């Protein structure tokens, strides 16, 4: 395109409300040249409004793309770090499982009782505790009892909740004792109430002596600090 034609095109675009940057890109000339060619053009209110709307739209598009890129980078970083963490743990040896279970009991287990006991709402943590009992302490599953604790507002769903725990843990419904209902009104509302399964209490029958030994494990951990 000849220089004169470029100049005419640049001035035409400027009158339509295009920015200096946009004109330079479209006509393939420098911003400095565009500015010199169009310095005498005074935009009216309508043209300024068009220019502002165009700039605002372009900014919104670029900002959205920036957020999308940032979100993707964050997701990839989270995924990478999660995999790194998984690999660091790897498979637990029996000794490692023993120490993990003792630490878990120190944190969440029933210490001042007559039986081994543990309570949590996290299914995987319950599974880890039972694995510790069966693998390290040689307790069979049929020596376990279970009790579900739920808010009283879930009273009508207690059978469904207990079925969830029975199926998830592969135990017998007969091992469940009477559920406990908390008579407290919740202020917090869960986004997915169907995923609420209460707190499960796991106990080992006739385990007073074993509990005393487990308290010794905790003391051993305490002394290693």
Domain that holds residue 117: 94-223
Name the average pLDDT for the chain: 89
119-131 pLDDT, tens digit each: 999 999 999 999 9
Has residue 45 been placed in a domain?
Answer: no
Instruction: Give the closest residue to 215 by CA, choosing from 124, 117, 123, 121.
Output: 117
Has residue 44 been placed in a domain?
Answer: no
Task: Name the pLDDT band for 19 (thresholds 50, 70, 90).
Answer: confident
Task: Name the pLDDT band for 48 (thresholds 50, 70, 90).
Answer: confident
DSSP letter at 156 equals G
Number of other CB atoms surrounding residue 37 within 10 Å: 20
Has residue 82 been placed in a domain?
Answer: no
Mean pLDDT of 99-112: 95
Mean pLDDT of 84-96: 95
Has residue 13 been placed in a domain?
Answer: no
Has residue 182 been placed in a domain?
Answer: yes
Residue 165 sits at the vertex; the CA angle it makes with 160 and 171, to the nearest 5 degrees, is 120
Has residue 88 been placed in a domain?
Answer: no
Give the bridge partners for 143, in sequence order.
none
Task: Name the pLDDT band for 20 (thresholds 50, 70, 90).
Answer: confident
Has residue 191 been placed in a domain?
Answer: yes
Please give the Cα distance from 40 to 11 (Å, whole number): 10
**Which pLDDT score, from 0 to 100, does residue 188 have?**
62
Phi then psi dihedrals of residue 3, to 5 deg: -60, -40
Q: What is the number of domains present in the chain?
A: 1
Please give the Cα distance from 128 to 111 (Å, whole number): 18
Say if residues 179 and 147 touch (Cβ distance below 8 Å).
Answer: yes
Lowest mean pLDDT among 46-55, 76-85, 130-139, 172-181: 46-55
> In this structure, are strands 180-182 and 144-151 parallel, antiparallel, or unpaired?
parallel
Torsion of CA 70, 192, 108, 211, to 10 degrees: -140
**Which pLDDT score, from 0 to 100, does residue 189 have?**
63
180-216 pLDDT, tens digit each: 998 876 666 666 667 889 999 999 999 999 999 999 9
194 or 115, which is more confident = 115
Has residue 102 been placed in a domain?
Answer: yes
Task: Name the pLDDT band for 18 (thresholds 50, 70, 90).
Answer: confident
Instruction: Give the closest residue to 202 by CA, choosing from 145, 148, 139.
Output: 145
52-72 pLDDT, tens digit each: 777 777 777 787 888 889 999
**Which pLDDT score, from 0 to 100, does residue 2 have?**
63
């Amino acid at each position: 395109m000849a220089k004169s034609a470029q100049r005419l095109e640049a001035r035409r675009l400027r009158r339509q409300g295009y920015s200096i940057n946009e004109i330079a890109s479209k006509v393939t000339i420098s911003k400095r040249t565009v500015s010199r060619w169009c310095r005498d053009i005074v935009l009216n209110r309508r043209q300024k409004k068009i220019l502002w709307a165009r700039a605002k739209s372009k900014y919104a598009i670029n900002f959205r793309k920036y957020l999308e890129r940032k979100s993707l980078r964050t997701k990839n970083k989270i995924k990478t770090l999660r995999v790194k963490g998984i690999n660091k743990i790897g498979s637990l040896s029996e000794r490692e499982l023993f120490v993990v279970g003792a630490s878990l009991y120190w944190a969440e287990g029933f210490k001042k009782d007559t039986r081994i006991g543990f309570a949590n709402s996290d299914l995987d943590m319950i599974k880890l505790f039972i694995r510790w009992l069966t693998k390290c302490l040689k307790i069979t599953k049929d020596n376990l009892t279970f009790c579900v604790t739920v808010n009283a507002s879930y009273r009508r769903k207690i059978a469904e909740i207990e079925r969830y725990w029975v199926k998830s843990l592969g135990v017998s419904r007969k091992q469940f004792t009477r559920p406990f209902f908390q008579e407290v009104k919740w202020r917090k509302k869960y986004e997915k109430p169907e995923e609420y399964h209460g707190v499960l209490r796991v106990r080992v029958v006739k385990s007073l002596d074993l509990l005393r030994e487990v308290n010794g494990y905790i003391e051993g951990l305490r002394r290693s600090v």
